[in-house]
Amino acid sequence: MDNQTIFPSLIHGGDYNPDQWLDRPDILEADIRMMKKAKINCVTLCVFAWSTLEPAEGEFNLQWLHDVVDRLYENGIYVIMATPSGARPRWLAEKYPEVLRINAQRQRMLFGERHNHCYTSPAYREKVRIIDKKLAEEFASHPAVILWHISNEFSGECHCPLCRDAFRSWLKNRYGSIDRLNHAWWTAFWSHTYNDFSQIESPSPLGDSSLHGLSLDWKRFVTAQTTDFLVAEKKALQEGGARQPVTTNLMRDFTGLDYSVLAKEIDIVSWDNYPFWHSGSGSTGSDIEIAYETALQHDLMRSYRHRPFLMMESSPSSMNWPPISRLRRPGTVPLTSMQAIAHGSDSVQYFQIRQSRGSSEKFHGAVIDHYGGEDTRVFAEVCKTGEDLAALSCLAGTQVDAKAAVIADMESRWAMEAAAGPRNKGLHYREAVLKSYRALREAGLNVDVIDSGAPLDSYKIVAAPMLYMFKEGVPERLRSFTEGGGILIMTCWSGIVDENDLCYEGATPHALTNVLGLRFEEIDGLPDGVTNRFVRAKDADINGKAAGEDDLNLPDSFSCDTLCELVRLEGAKALMVYGDDFYAGHPALTVNRFGKGAAYYVCADAEQALYTSLYGEIAARAGIAPVLKDLPENTCAASRTDGQYEYIFAGHYAPDCVQIKIPQGSEVLCGNKDGILEGYSYIILRRISS
Ligand code: GAL
């Protein structure tokens, strides 16, 4: 799909389950009236409606859906049609028990819950094909339907005989011979050598769970099999005549699948955004932290396809599944909805439009609650969001222009976190990525979050924190990026293993030691609570102390914890050294000029302030203009562009009132004309793109 938008304006909507209210035609009418009031222009139907659509095998009941879709469309409300494969009907599990998953302990599950079917089962695939095709035949040509939503939040794994066989075939295809697999998995260790592919079992606490190559390939297989299932659903829709784009909803911080693989098979990335707002101490907690974490997730989702994405779900009020259900503070629904738009979403969608009366989500927030009236605080927040979105339709399809990127690589993370050592109590990869990301955002830059296979040509700054695994081509790309004038920032525990999780022989970070001007020697895992320090390098400390253009204007000291790497300088200059322990005076932060660019190396898990200062200096020297300058505390900015105009969003994530300086040449599209940001509010500016 070449065009960047599926809808002429921003989508405002959410999951809607009229299948729970078929005996209540008045509910549909009330809902439509309230949706129109809230400027809801699109709803997602059928996510879990299979047992209503096909109450018995081969018996279809779709008239109610036609009626609902028609009625919505007459009222200007479009539809995202879901395939119902996220939860199967009871009759299906009864007749075809193979659809029920087997867990790693080799126990078959009972029917129940959702998201728990076998992705390999031919019976499941066939029943899904039939219902998907049927839905497409009936609705592909309906003008209301703008997008197909395949299944729901793909996740989990199955260890049934069918899946284990499929895994063996996948391995055969990957390695060709058992000898090559034995080498890649280093199976001579503990006498685990395989004689034949048929001997391979999926990882299990009853068998192998510490054979790293096996565990890594199993995760890759689960991603491949899930993706294959998704592709089969896409084909079934096409067989039924569907021509609309497809999506599937991804999840926050989800490590069960490598989304960079799955995302290639969908036309539009969408995701479900459920941050724990106000979950810190005090009445609001540290919402700015959550704002940065959420911004990272939005940017990650956008970067999978480098085009606008959809925020498919979010809660307009509290969720009911976290340990404690906090209410969203006034103003936060519009604010955090606009945050999604700022980072490239073309939609604000909720779970769900109408609260269900029974079962496990009856207390989950919804646009329309059990009371059912318009005079609720939550409904007012949704209406305000709807009004602002309607006024911003020019944003649909606009892009985010990022000159900086952070590499976040799932396979590398899997390998690093499965390995034993150097710190089995937590390596903090997620936090390492967030620290670099946040620092770049604090420096005022738009940021892409990319996997290690992504091209780097369009960036001026690339951060590759803890990039433990170098897949094929990675060091070469990082090298030529730096050589060509890019600024590379790497952090400890990088370039240690290859794509098969085998440690590189020789100096590491593999193939990049002359780019970084150093090599890894040892790594110290620090117990919880133990810290070291980064202090400014003095002449006496080290021969290679940075001077001149390399001497950044950094504060005198930062703390660090969890991991301290000891490196040997081979041309790099030390900007900071360790302050304590037997390695006091050893390099802790280094820089090396390489080609037309420079490579920085942060040797330890440093506090956020180090990254904020370092990236601030780097961004200023790289001459990349910040989206907005001099932002008040607890405020962050992001921008989108249509090539002609730049749309700048500033959001304030605290209850106090602040003011931003409105740059010359900008007009205020939304918010206070003097740049005043009340507690939990935002402002949107427009200026000619530079
Ligand atoms: C999502 C899911 C929805 C609903 C929601 C509640 O993960 O896709 O169906 O359960 O959570 O927060």
Question: In this predicted model, what pLDDT tens digit does every residue of 155-168 receive, in sequence order?
Answer: 999 999 999 999 99
If one compares 279 and 449, the residue with the highest pLDDT of the two is 449
Pocket of ligand 1 contains residue 352 by CB under 6 Å: no
pTM confidence score:
0.97
Confidence at 542, pLDDT banded by 50, 70, 90 = low
pLDDT score at 284: 64
- Mapped to the 3 state alphabet, what secondary structure does 162-202 carry? HHHHHHHHHHHHHHCCHHHHHHHHCCCHHHCCCCCHHHCCC
Across all residues in the chain, what is the average pLDDT?
Answer: 96
Nearest CA to ligand 1 atom 5: 351
Confidence at 1, pLDDT banded by 50, 70, 90 = very low
Pocket of ligand 1 contains residue 351 by CB under 6 Å: yes
Pocket of ligand 1 contains residue 271 by CB under 6 Å: no
Q: How many A from CA of 199 to the centre of ligand 1?
A: 39
**What are 588-626's pLDDT values in tens digits?**
999 999 999 999 999 999 999 999 999 999 999 999 999
Residue 520 has pLDDT above 60, yes or no: yes
- Classify each residue of 129-162 as buried b or exposed e, where b means 16 or more C-beta atoms within 10 Å of its C-beta: bbbbbbbbebbbebebbbbbbbbbbbebbbbbeb
> Is 603:564 a contact under the CB 8 Å cutoff?
yes
Confidence at 294, pLDDT banded by 50, 70, 90 = very high
Determine which of 193-197, 251-255, 447-451, 540-544 has the lowest per-residue pLDDT on average: 540-544
* All residues at 6 or more sequence positions from 489 whose CB lies less than 8 Å from its CB, including other chains: 436, 461, 462, 463, 464, 465, 599, 600, 601, 602, 614, 615, 618
Atom of ligand 1 nearest to the CA of 249: 8
Atom of ligand 1 nearest to the CA of 47: 9
Paired tokens of 508? 């590491």
Paired tokens of 514? 């002359």
If one compares 1 and 50, the residue with the highest pLDDT of the two is 50
* All residues at 6 or more sequence positions from 640 whose CB lies less than 8 Å from its CB, including other chains: 341, 342, 344, 395, 398, 399, 400, 646, 647, 649
| Torsion angle of the four alpha carbons 527, 530, 532, 533, in this order, in degrees rounded to the nearest 10 | 130
Residue 3 has pLDDT above 60, yes or no: no
Pocket of ligand 1 contains residue 319 by CB under 6 Å: yes
Nearest CA to ligand 1 atom 1: 272
Paired tokens of 307? 């085009």
Residue 540 has pLDDT above 50, yes or no: no
pLDDT score at 519: 98
Confidence at 463, pLDDT banded by 50, 70, 90 = very high
Residue 509 has pLDDT above 70, yes or no: yes
**What are 326-366's pLDDT values in tens digits?**
999 999 999 999 999 999 999 999 999 999 999 999 999 99
Average pLDDT over residues 370-391: 98
CA dist 657 to 129, 214, 275, 340, Å? 54, 54, 23, 22
What 3-state class would DSSP assign to 475? helix
Confidence at 280, pLDDT banded by 50, 70, 90 = confident
**What are 102-138's pLDDT values in tens digits?**
999 999 999 999 999 999 999 999 999 999 999 999 9
Average pLDDT over residues 19-34: 97
Q: How many A from CA of 322 to the centre of ligand 1?
A: 12
Pocket of ligand 1 contains residue 152 by CB under 6 Å: yes
Nearest CA to ligand 1 atom 12: 319
Residue 513 has pLDDT above 60, yes or no: yes
Q: How many A from CA of 351 to the centre of ligand 1?
A: 7
Any idea how long the chain is? Answer: 690
Pocket of ligand 1 contains residue 153 by CB under 6 Å: yes
Rounded Cα distance, 463 and 472, in Å: 18
Average pLDDT over residues 179-192: 97
Residue 2 has pLDDT above 60, yes or no: no
Rounded Cα distance, 22 and 14, in Å: 19
Residue 392 has pLDDT above 50, yes or no: yes
Q: How many A from CA of 607 to the centre of ligand 1?
A: 34
Q: How many A from CA of 332 to the centre of ligand 1?
A: 20
pLDDT score at 537: 85
Residue 541 has pLDDT above 60, yes or no: no
Calculate ∠ Cα 291-296-300, nearest 5°. 150
pLDDT score at 282: 67
* All residues at 6 or more sequence positions from 682 whose CB lies less than 8 Å from its CB, including other chains: 334, 335, 338, 339, 649, 650, 651, 652, 670, 671
Name the residues annotated as catalytic: 153, 313
Pocket of ligand 1 contains residue 364 by CB under 6 Å: yes
Confidence at 547, pLDDT banded by 50, 70, 90 = low
